[in-house]
Amino acid sequence: MRMPVDETPTRGFTDDERERWQSIRELFTRGGLRPETPFTRVPDDDGVGCIGLYEEDFNGLDEIRFLPARRLTDEELLQFYQFTFGEPDAPANEMAGYEAKLRNLMNQQMGMPLTAKRTGEGIRKANEGNVYGDTRACYSCTFKEVGSQEREWMGYLDLASGRLLAGEHQMYSDVRLDPFQQVWADRAKAYIAAMLPEGDANIDRVELRGETTHNMLYAANVRVWMKDGGCYELSFLYAIDNVGYLDYSDAEFIQHLDTYYLETMPRLMMEERGNE
C-alpha cells in the first residue's frame, strides 16, 4: 500500500533508508554498482513512483515522488538513485583523482582536515557554482568534518590547470574584528607566498577590502594582486582565525569581468529600457 499523496506530501526516508542511501551513492558513483532493472515511474501499487504535474498549476512543481508504506529494498533505492542523479559525470577513477587533488589543496590552502567526509561532488562549469561569469570546467566537491564541530567546506578544482579556483569554509559565529588592520594584509601576502613555488616574488600589491560575510560569518576581505594581472581574493574568518574563502582570477577573466560591467551590462540595461 502506498502512502497517500493527493492532499499530503509523501513520506521521507527513514533513518535506515537514509543511511543505506548514502551507501548506495558511494557504491553507484565509485563502485560501479547498477540496478538489475531500471526505475519505472509508475510501477505496481506497492512500489516507488512519480506523479507528473502541470507546472503552471503547481507553482513550477513538475512532479511528486512517493514511497510505499514499508521498508524500501536496496534495489529500489539503487533504482531511485540512478533515476534521480543519472550517470556520474566521469569514470570512478577520474572522480577519485579529482577528489584527492582537491582534498589536498583544501588541506594545504584552507586548513581542511584530510579526514573530512565527502558529501557531494560533480563536474560543471564554474559559473554554475559561485564563480560568476567563468565557463571553465571544474570539479566541485563538498566536505563535512568528521566529529562534533559540524564544519563544512566547498571547493572548485580547475580541471585544466589543477588549481584551486575557489573554496569556502562554513560554520556560524558572530565574532567581529577590525578588517582594516595591517595584519590582514601581511597575513594575506604570507599566505599566498607560501602557496606559490616562487614565494612572494610575483606579488605586486595587497589591497584591504573591508569586512564581508561568508555563510553568516564575519571576515576581513583582502585581495593579493600579482604582477601578471591575476588576483587572489581571501577572506579571513574571525571565528576560526584562518582563511575561510579563497578565489583566484587570472588576468583574462578579470578583463572579461571589466568588459561585462563597463560595456555589456550598460548596453543590456539600455536595450531593456528601450523595450519597455
Give CA–CA dist 154/253, Å, rounded: 21
Within the chain, residue ranges assigned H as helices are 15-29, 74-85, 92-110, 182-195, 251-259, 265-274
Tell which wins on pLDDT, 12 or 34. Answer: 34
Give me the amino acid identity at 86: G
C-alpha cell at 160: 585544466
The C-alpha atoms of residue 85 and residue 66 are separated, in whole angstroms, by 17
The predicted pLDDT at position 265 comes to: 64
Q: What is the pLDDT of residue 167?
A: 82
**How confident is the model at residue 273, as a pLDDT?**
66
**pTM for this structure?**
0.56
Length of the chain counted residue by residue: 276
Q: What is the pLDDT of residues 234-245, one digit of tens each?
A: 999 888 788 888
Structure confidence at residue 221 (pLDDT): 93
pLDDT above 70: residue 109: yes
155, 167 Cβ separation under 8 angstroms: yes
Q: Is the pLDDT of residue 3 over 60?
A: no
